[in-house]
Amino acid sequence: MTLPVADKYNIEFGDVTRAKFDWLKSKEYAGWVVFVDTNTRRDCLPLIEKFLDHPRLLIIECAPGELNKNLGTCQELWSQMFDGGVGRRWCAICLGGGVLEDMSGFVASTFKRGIDFLQIPTTLLAQVDSSVGGKLGVDFYELKNSLGVFNDPIAVWIDHRFLRTLPAREIRSGFAEVIKHALIADAGQWGRIQKIIDLTVVDWSELIPASVNIKREVVLEDPFERGVRKSLNFGHTIGHAIESYFLETEQRLFHGEAIAAGMIMEAWISYQLATLTVSDYQLIESYFLKLYGHQVILESSFDQLFALMANDKKNDDHRINFTLLAEPGRALINQFAGRPVIESAIRHYNSLAVATE
């Protein structure tokens, strides 16, 4: 299925087939360079390998994971592209999760000032989030996605068969963005989602296009995040800081897990500072706790968390910018909260630990 609205995002849902690669061939690229990581090379490449019959084909593998999403890895990828003779008229095929999609898209967009690229996202997170909106980049200076560009792929192919290769925890992580899309823009969808408890029996062929469509409409209206696109940052101001903080600890936290905690806290701030009702807040809190459990945020980490939030791309000046909820399905962008409110949100969240035991 192709989304019915004609727009610049060439997003196609369904099996990646020979017909799709025939379309790619019709573009007559001088070569194809395929980016994979260790996992997608093993689990995902076999599904499309038989279609990769371009006479000039280069497969480049990088180490997986957020810790490798940096300029050092980019330099290895660029070097291998030069060594492999990649030219301006080549196309990059990016087969992987959010980290690989963001990083290899950035690498393609800056190699010889930019070559075309195609995204085949293989995780739920990448399918519903990273693959729409043209945000590409890497982490730098201990800040997530702090370097990058906006640039759109020639196409995105979303095939939910890849999700079968994922561990349950990875699916659950991506599902946080599905919940977020409902919370910021579609109250009806939020109602339906709350009925989902077991992520092994979800019909992804319905849920993914619906979720992608919410993001696509937001991004089409505001590609460079000057306004409404900021609504997608719900849960991400505190969530990104937590994610960055845990990156440097022993305890690994997935993006969606950090964002789930962030959404509880930012929903709590929405209840404190905006119009979110206590009952709507409690539904949000209990659903996230049920699916994602709870992380303890140590008081000793607060200063570092605030430093991370202060350096967030979303801020102008020195104020910390939030997206809050007016109600489920309606976001409020460009909201501000001071350190006392934010600290009380984190302490409130910490107090929920007992409830989940």
Question: Which residues does the annotation mark as catalytic?
Answer: 113, 135, 177, 215, 225, 229, 233, 236, 240, 255
Instruction: Find the distance separating the first CA and the last CA of the chain, reported in whole Å.
Output: 43
283 belongs to the binding site for a copy of itself (CB under 8 A): no
Instruction: Please count the other Cβ atoms lying within 10 Å of the Cβ belonging to residue 171.
Output: 19
Give, as ranges, the residues between 93 and 122 that touch a copy of itself (CB under 8 A).
Answer: 109-114
82 belongs to the binding site for a copy of itself (CB under 8 A): yes
153 belongs to the binding site for a copy of itself (CB under 8 A): no
Out of 3, 143, 247, 353, the only residue in the binding site for a copy of itself (CB under 8 A) is 143
Q: Which is nearer to a copy of itself, 90 or 246 (CB)?
A: 90
Q: How far is CA 208 from CA 136, 167, 336, in A?
A: 21, 18, 31
Give, as ranges, the residues between 23 and 52 that touch a copy of itself (CB under 8 A).
Answer: 30
* Beta strands 135-140; 116-121: pairing state: unpaired
164 belongs to the binding site for a copy of itself (CB under 8 A): no
> What is the total count of residues that contact a copy of itself (CB under 8 A)?
35
Give burial (CB, 10 Å; 0-12/13-18/19+) of 56.
Answer: middle
For residue 332, give the nearest of 205, 227, 221, 223 by alpha carbon. Answer: 227
For residue 154, give the nearest of 21, 249, 270 by alpha carbon. Answer: 21
70 belongs to the binding site for a copy of itself (CB under 8 A): no
Per the CB < 8 A criterion, the answer to whether 227 and 144 are in contact is no
313 belongs to the binding site for a copy of itself (CB under 8 A): yes
Structural tokens at position 194: 């709350």
108 sits in which H/E element: helix 98-110
94 sits in which H/E element: strand 91-96
Q: What is the closest distance, in whole angstroms, from the C-beta atom of residue 317 to a copy of itself in the complex?
A: 6
Out of 6, 50, 141, 198, the only residue in the binding site for a copy of itself (CB under 8 A) is 141
**Phi, psi at 269, each rounded to 5°:** -65, -35
Out of 317, 340, 351, 357, the only residue in the binding site for a copy of itself (CB under 8 A) is 317
DSSP 173-197: HHHHHHHHHHHHH-HHHHHHHTT--
140 belongs to the binding site for a copy of itself (CB under 8 A): yes
The Cα 79–Cα 62 span in angstroms is 12
Out of 165, 311, 344, 350, the only residue in the binding site for a copy of itself (CB under 8 A) is 311
Q: Which is nearer to a copy of itself, 78 or 254 (CB)?
A: 78
Q: What is the closest distance, in whole angstroms, from the C-beta atom of residue 9 to a copy of itself in the complex?
A: 18
Q: Which is nearer to a copy of itself, 110 or 295 (CB)?
A: 110
146 belongs to the binding site for a copy of itself (CB under 8 A): yes
Structural tokens at position 233: 């940052």
* Secondary structure (3-state) at 137: strand
Q: Which is nearer to a copy of itself, 87 or 338 (CB)?
A: 87
Q: Which is nearer to a copy of itself, 135 or 255 (CB)?
A: 135
Q: Which is nearer to a copy of itself, 45 or 77 (CB)?
A: 77
167 belongs to the binding site for a copy of itself (CB under 8 A): no
The residues binding a copy of itself (CB under 8 A) are 30, 71, 75, 78-79, 82, 85, 87-89, 109-114, 135-137, 140-141, 143, 145-150, 311, 313-318
